Amino acid sequence: MPRPIAARIDGGALRHNYLLARNQARRGEGRARAWAVVKANAYGHGLLRAARALADVADGFALLDLEEAVRLRDAGIRQPILLLEGFFEAADLAVCAAHDLTLVVHRLEQLQMLRRASLPVRLPIFLKLNSGMNRLGLTAAELPAVRRELAASPAVSAVTLMTHFAEADGDGGEACITWQLERFAGMLADWPEAATWPVSLANSAAILRYPQTARDWVRPGIMLYGGSPFADQDAASLGLKPVMTLHSRILAVQEIAVGERVGYGGTFVARRPTRVGVVACGYADGYPRHAPGGTPIVVAGQATTTLGRVSMDMLACDLTDLPAAGVNSPVVLWGEGLAADAVAAAAGTISYELFCALARRVPVVEV
């Protein structure tokens, strides 16, 4: 028999979350289109698996790697595909042209490489402006040169403007959103032509809380996979469904006395007679090693917590108050019945990291 651990991926939940994101962006009379952000192997859910689930509903797909974009085209995806970091060297441009890709341009040098490339077709670009995140994007001082490059370039077919919010998910979101929108508008104040171009601003957090940011294209990421972008609001309350459920079973049960320890380093010391369940899941499966004892877990449909330190292939949980649970009882590490955000919060991380860390050795079951 195979080891009793698997990740269940629910394509229907992914579709639900995508449509919710797009409908949120279209509140009122908006007609925003939504990129399905499938970077990082669709946040660990499987690039082609996610693309198949969304193929007949998604307006477009957004990712980072040129190789992954080509895989989508080879798989029959015909919607627009956006390279979120653009291209990295001039040699990439022939492949981008051959596969009809849309490029984010965040450096002046990228525009210069485009102009010199002598491509057989013109490519659409998303011109990324740095409105305050200070990660990627063109500055106000660079815009005169950008305008000259665009005017001289035979390689660009259409321009969409974009920026990225730094704190849409935080306590100061409203003020920070307003400040970045004002800076974005200020950068374009002396560029009349830009007023006619489409705009892409909103990530998951902005889609959900700041409808004024929806504009022409939105870029939902974590919400597609059933994770909340907010520390103070869970995914279920936002109407999102978990897409990945990591589940396993109890391998063994140990009965320990007061004062006995569990696992490497003996970090858990029993204060009462304790039934310890040993779960077939460890950090080599993608469960966070730094998750402390007390992290939530579900056994046989009942909530309990982990005990001690996570090891490579196993972790322990408390079955003392679950007398019906024992060997072969089903376990949910996160997903249906246990929000990944709750596990991530206990481990001092975010659900993005849990999903992306799923190990290749974990079998995947599609539903």
Sign of CA dihedral 289, 291, 293, 299: negative
Distance CA 267, CA 257 (A): 15
The annotated binding site for substrate is made up of 135, 312
What stretches of 129-172 adopt beta strand conformation (E)? 156-162
Torsion, CA 228, CA 234, CA 237, CA 240, rounded to 10? 30
352 a catalytic residue: no
Token digits of residue 227: 């994770």
- CA pair distance 35, 79, nearest whole angstrom: 10
Query: Quick check: is 283 catalytic?
Result: no
The whole-angstrom separation of Cα 175 and Cα 165 is 11
SS percent in the chain: helix, strand, coil, step 5: 35, 25, 45
CA separation (Å) from 19 to 12, 13, 169, 259, 289? 11, 10, 20, 52, 34
Is the CB of residue 243 less than 8 Å from the CB of residue 44?
no
Q: Centre a 10 Å sphere on the Cβ of residue 317 and count the other Cβ atoms it contains.
A: 28
d(CA 357, CA 337): 20
- Tell me if 7 sits within 8 A of 364, measured CB to CB: yes
Q: Report the C-alpha gap between 367 and 249 in whole angstroms.
A: 20
Report the binding-site residues.
Answer: 135, 312
User: Rounded CA gap, 190 and 186, in Å?
Assistant: 8
* Catalytic entry in 39, 128, 283, 287: 39
Exactly one of 18, 43, 264, 287 is catalytic; name it.
264
Burial status of residue 74 (CB atoms within 10 A of its CB: 0-12, 13-18, 19 or more): exposed
Catalogue the active-site residues. Answer: 39, 264
